[in-house]
């Protein structure tokens, strides 16, 4: 495993890329309404990235080993879809929850973030799942400082989620990020405190817990990308890109419209 410690110049470029990714989510927020299709949301985000920001949508035609090229510029995962949902003709309806995952390339560097959105008025269960997952993300972020270990992040997330009867998806994880979309290390969202790689100043990685209201088992859809819960339970995910600083961390994917850190209540 080769961990790339970012230089001050790279960190500054990552700050720009992270903010731009978050600003795409700010831009699309008013359009997440009943009746809109996920493909329409993809078109809005694509045009904003390319025409306004002059950034590159990293997911478009992204083709890791074993996968066909991803056909869209964003991921939209609705209700029981865990991640990598491909935008299409499906219209969002009142009560849906949707994760919109944005990765932009700015000056050669990637900014990666996602948010959950309520379409109209969500159910009590859906709201609770999304809010707990948001808190789980931040409890993981709280563990990011030099001298801690990656297992501390996963342990904090797993303890919260499983403590209320939810489950943590294990097949997907956070990741290092920079010039490449996915770099080492892998950042698991479960684990044992004090285990795993030591966190060091200059690392940049994502934390992006996927929490299911039911069981953790997943199912792959025939499109080759979309992942759903096997039991059709709801799933939620939030994501930030984090820089390890001298005495803690800095969240790089913040913008004027980004939700603030939550008050912990679970």
Q: Residues 78-101: pLDDT tens digits? A: 999 999 999 999 999 999 999 999
Instruction: Tell me, yes or no, whether 48 lies in a domain.
Output: yes
pLDDT tens, 113-143? 999 999 999 999 999 999 999 999 999 999 9
Residue from 181, 182, 174 nearest 199 by CA: 174
* 260-56-7 Cα angle (round to 5): 70
Asked whether the predicted pLDDT for residue 1 surpasses 90, the reply is: no
Per DSSP bridges, beta strands 81-83 and 167-168 are unpaired
Tokens standing for 265?
Answer: 């209540």
Tracing tokens 């700010």 back to the chain, one arrives at 26
d(CA 120, CA 96): 8
Instruction: Tell me, yes or no, whether 229 lies in a domain.
Output: yes
Instruction: Tell me, yes or no, whether 210 lies in a domain.
Output: yes
Instruction: Tell me, yes or no, whether 170 lies in a domain.
Output: yes
Q: Whole-number mean pLDDT of the chain? A: 97
Domain with 183 in it: what CATH number?
3.90.230.10
d(CA 56, CA 49): 7
Instruction: Tell me, yes or no, whether 1 lies in a domain.
Output: no
Residue from 125, 93, 122, 136 nearest 213 by CA: 125
CB contact at 8 A, 79 and 66: no
Instruction: Tell me, yes or no, whether 3 lies in a domain.
Output: no
d(CA 135, CA 237): 11
Instruction: Tell me, yes or no, whether 60 lies in a domain.
Output: yes
Count of the separate structural domains present in the chain: 1
pLDDT tens, 15-43? 999 999 999 999 999 999 999 999 999 99
CB contact at 8 A, 226 and 235: no
Asked whether the predicted pLDDT for residue 65 surpasses 90, the reply is: no
d(CA 22, CA 44): 15
Domain that holds residue 51: 8-251
CB contact at 8 A, 122 and 44: no
Instruction: Tell me, yes or no, whether 259 lies in a domain.
Output: no
Where does 107-233 show beta strands of DSSP type E?
Answer: 109-118, 167-168, 174-176, 183-187, 204-207, 210-212, 218-220, 227-229
CB contact at 8 A, 266 and 164: yes
d(CA 39, CA 88): 5
Residue 130's pLDDT is 98
In the structure, what pLDDT confidence band is assigned to residue 67 with cuts at 50, 70 and 90?
confident
Asked whether the predicted pLDDT for residue 108 surpasses 90, the reply is: yes
Taking residues 155-184, report their average pLDDT.
Answer: 98
SS3 182: coil
CB contact at 8 A, 181 and 58: yes
């Amino acid at each position: 495993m080769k961990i790339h410690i970012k230089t001050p110049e790279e960190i500054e470029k990552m700050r720009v890329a992270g903010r731009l990714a978050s600003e795409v989510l700010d831009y699309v927020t008013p359009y997440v309404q009943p009746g809109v299709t996920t493909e329409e949301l993809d078109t809005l985000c694509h045009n904003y990235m390319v025409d306004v920001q002059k950034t590159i949508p990293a997911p478009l035609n992204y083709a890791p080993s074993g996968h066909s090229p991803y056909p869209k510029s964003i991921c939209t995962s609705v209700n029981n879809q865990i991640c990598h949902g491909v935008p299409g003709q499906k219209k969002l309806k009142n009560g849906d929850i949707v994760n919109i995952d944005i990765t932009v390339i700015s000056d050669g560097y990637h900014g990666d973030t996602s948010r959950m959105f309520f379409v109209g008025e969500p159910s009590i269960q859906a709201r609770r799942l999304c809010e707990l997952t948001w808190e789980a993300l931040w409890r993981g972020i709280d563990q990011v400082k030099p001298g801690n270990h990656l297992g501390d992040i996963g342990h904090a997330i797993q303890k919260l989620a499983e403590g209320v009867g939810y489950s943590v998806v294990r097949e997907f994880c956070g990741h290092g990020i920079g010039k490449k979309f996915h770099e080492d290390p892998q950042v698991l969202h479960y684990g044992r405190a004090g285990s795993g790689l030591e966190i060091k100043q200059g690392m940049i990685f994502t934390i992006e817990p996927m929490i299911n209201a039911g069981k953790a088992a997943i199912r792959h859809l025939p499109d080759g990308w979309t992942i759903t819960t096997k039991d059709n339970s709801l799933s939620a995910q939030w994501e930030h890109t984090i820089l390890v600083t001298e005495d803690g961390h800095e969240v790089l994917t913040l913008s004027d419209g980004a939700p603030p850190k939550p008050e912990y209540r679970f």
